[in-house]
Structure 1
Amino acid sequence: MAQETPRFRRAPWLVGAGALAAVVVAGGVWAATTKAPQASPTAQAPSATPSPSASGPVCTALLSVTKQWDGGYQAEVIVSARAPLANWEVGLNLEGGVVTASWDSTMPVGSTGITTAANASYNGTVTAGSTATFGFTANGGSPSDLSATCVGTATGPVSESQAAGPTPPPTYTSQANVASPGDDDWLHTDGNRIVDAQGRAVWLTGANWYGFNLEQRMLVGLNVANLDDLMDQIASRGINVIRVPVSTELLLEWRDGEARVPQAVNQQLNPGLADKTTLEVFDAFLGDAKDRGVKVFLDVHSALADDDGHLYPVWYNEPVSTADFLDAWTWVAARYANDDTVIGFDLKNEPHGQPSETPRAIWDASTAKHNWRHAAEQAGDAILAQNPHALVFVEGIEATPRTGTSFASTDNGDYSFGWWGGNLRFAAEFPVRLSEPRQLVYSPHEYGPLVYDQPWFQKPFTKDSLTTDVWEPNWLYLHQDGTAPLLIGEWGGRLGQDPRQDVWMAALRDLIVDEHLAHTFWCLNPESGDTGGLFANGWGSWDEEKYALLRPALWQTSGGRFVSLDHATPLPGGVSVTEYYDQGNPQPR
């Protein structure tokens, strides 16, 4: 399908600055009507009375400080509906802070002390079990009391089944008593499948967990939860691989012995991580993953350890050069070459750039500095020289020239566009050539209209039309013709806010299941600004509606037990690869 205008990938989180994000949940009660928001900076917190149409609180509000700087901060509030809502209002105490900007609510600039924020015109209607989000910035210190209240007009009763969602699987404890070798789980490719050393197909079905790529250089969530507990939940729910974003800057710090002790780890909740550096915490995380049969691959999300680093279009960004990029990958591949917990490396997150931008990622036969294909070949071979068994994941770019034009054009009309990292149209004519061809996996990203309202979402669409118009020309053809396997490195989003989003997410999930495409869902983190996460309520629970959508796309036996990518260690409550095939289960083809 011809695309006439450039595409964008919005910022996927609102976390950062090395600050510990604090979260508190407070329940509110239903109100028959919701009073208008108060413009006065001394407005009182909202009150409410129960109604026969609802039982118990109809909504809760979670306030988190997502960024801090000298003299100010940024905050996000997530409104969770326990009943269907026509509108909502949140009350909170800013203490001495003064609001300088707000979005997605009616919170007035200048608000201070006890204040309220009602929904905007477009996000008041929230289905039960879904969420709405708003944010603000303020001068002064963040409030010491982060409690928030929520009231709303319910259009139906509180439904515990809607609020809780499907019954989650039990959480099992770790598998410390299982001995697993460090070299029996390496993978390679065979046509369009990823296979084990015996040539049997395996299905990578996982999720992203970001934080090491940010300024705080640490997995988000360890400020409010225990690492072991989180890993028990993740593995028990069938996540058999975790994509971990990092920065080149962080890898170079690790290489040079300059790893810092992070501020974003609650040492009371994580006594085993007390005074450990970022590298030592990463190694502890790897140990927890291995202990539970979970595999890991790293993704250079940005050159710099910067909350907005992923917005920069290419893999170099001063002072980080392409040579630094290659050196960082060489070092980390060598460090983990004898540990098959780290099964591969995603070379660079979402190379992109529009025709008129400099720099921008291109894909052709040249050796130009900004040619992503050439840089990917260099980085892939640098990794494989250290570990010939590692999988090398290569993403696409944003824009490729149409027939009869070239990358020399700066006219958007001469290009076909896709999501950042999601345009692999030129991989057929200019394939990535590696020293170990069997280790190559192409890795597009794909999102729905709540991330950006692409042209293909602005008319009626179905799974079939998306397949024909978008997915096949951009990346699915590589799977269909047997060129190489695909791993969809990012996909996901919020449910219940836009019917088109829900249709898109179910359609892509069904494609993943039908074709057994490898994938890592974006993301575990509830703080993700434009998608939300699988975890919810400040890492205290799961978004059961979203998990229910994802669950069919997780590798399972015919009896519904989750399958690890380890040949000795099963996922907690699940089975190992060896057990899967010994039980006579079919290959995921």
Structure 2
Amino acid sequence: MTILRIVLFLSLSTFSFAEITSFLHVQGRDVVDDQNNVVKLRGINMDGYFWAWDWDQNLHNSYATQADIEFLDSLGANVIRLCLNYHYFESSDGYNFIDNYLQWCDSAGIYVLLDMHVVPDGNNIFFNSVAEQQLVDIWQGIASRYVDEPAVLGYDLMNEPWPDDASVWYAFANRLIDSIRTVDPTHIIMIENTLGGETFEVSDDANVLYSYHDYSPFAVSHAAATWVGETPVTDDYAYPGEVLTSSTWLGYSEDQPTWTMSSSSWRYWDSGNLIVPENADYAYVKPNVWGNVGNVYYDDLGSQKNGANFSVFNGGAEQASSSDANQPSIWFFLAGGSHTGSWATTAHSGSRSLGISGTDPNGWAVWGQGAWILTAPFIPVTAGDTLRATGWIHAANISGGGVSLGFDYVSAVTEYYDRAHLLSDIQYLLNWSETNIKPIWCGEFGCMSAAPGNSQENLVRDKIAVMNEAGLGWAMWSYRAPEPPSFTLIYDDSLDVPLTNVISQGFTGFTWPNAIADLRLWHVGQDVTLRWSPVDSAVGYTVYASPTTSADLNDYTIVGTTSNSVFTHVNGLSSQQQFYVVVVNF
């Protein structure tokens, strides 16, 4: 017995090899060619290992070959978003890199969007006039070189900008546009909104395509991602389903003891059993003080739940933060009054501890862990569980204050995610586009392969369906990664067939109306059995099959109906491959 998903085979054998002769431009809410035919741009990001420059200055040149572009052409892609690192342009290498892709893509009829994915000084560019000018010069050089190249879709000015004030970005974007237009009046220019997700500021330039990135729900799309924070995103949430979207502070362990007497040496702390209150979903160990405590140090922290040990992330405070080498990893400091926190060198073991200093009689301070959906440091709890906090405390100068070690309690905020929720997440951008008569497209979306079950295919399929129904162009993130888990179609040279099937159908305009998202296929001999999760309120299901995939349901033949969530297509593989679609009847 073989278990397969969505399709049993995918034929990839034809190539277009159509040289591009038409520049694309913006017209109202659409992108059109020189005959004013609407072009729906659907493709994929080619990240080019942009992140590897610091240790390998040539790896980007081995990311893909012409065969990869021909493969994407066979799937139906008509655009790639080519990620650039500003370092490439410290020599002629950057232009050679682009030229290769243009040669390959031009012959395949695929447009190339040039995306400046890494800019000088990163997100600090907005505070660095030298870095800003460097980016201005780079873009002007690129535009000068490719002004007459129709295979270039346009210029994506900066990937995911995030200044303190969005208006700072839009002002700089307009400066970049003005510079580019002195040498290139023709190509589309792409402006992204910031990571804050605001609607766009309208540019005075008439040939702008406005780009957003969409990774909702983040706990699914970034399942097991290690680069989001200092602990991995968990892989606990499936799509469709109930998904963690944030967490809120519920309270603290009010039954924890307090020390108000000084000690000149390290003392062992054991909170005893503390009872988890109602509505708590998580807990984490929290060093805390109040009042005049002088200098206090916490080290070698531990915890227990219902008698079982739970490790405290960086409980010995030895690991430095990846974002700030002068702070302890995972921990954050919060205070009221004049109390201060430090990554102290006074230690019970090792060389570091968590320090708190303060003499304000009305002040308080804590060290905490975790935030948003980064729940890996948390202890999962339910009401009535017993917790214990342990560790070593050095508090030699308490004078009218107190020190303690207990827990903070956190409530999970979840939302049910399905196709309707995905649409609601971008509706404000669709409304903006309609109101301002400006085009938008999705420059990045995708899902990590570590998401449970078929979540990756389900989420990507529904994202594409929502965008195709709305008439948007898009580029999935991304094409290749060295190894899983990641978002990609290819790991080294291994193809993710289910995800490839989804995106290939998406390129042709599929929307899968009322289609089952978690279809499973088994075949024994020539018989094919389909199973799926029952859909609430469904009165029945219609099963369609076709030897070729198509965006038009009329190209499929009805092979049966069923009132249950299972159907056997007898002799379904008698002569050739089959593509199946199950449609819900309400």
Q: TM-score, normalised by structure 1?
A: 0.49
Q: TM-score, normalised by structure 2?
A: 0.50
Determine which structure has the larger strand proportion and give its number: 2
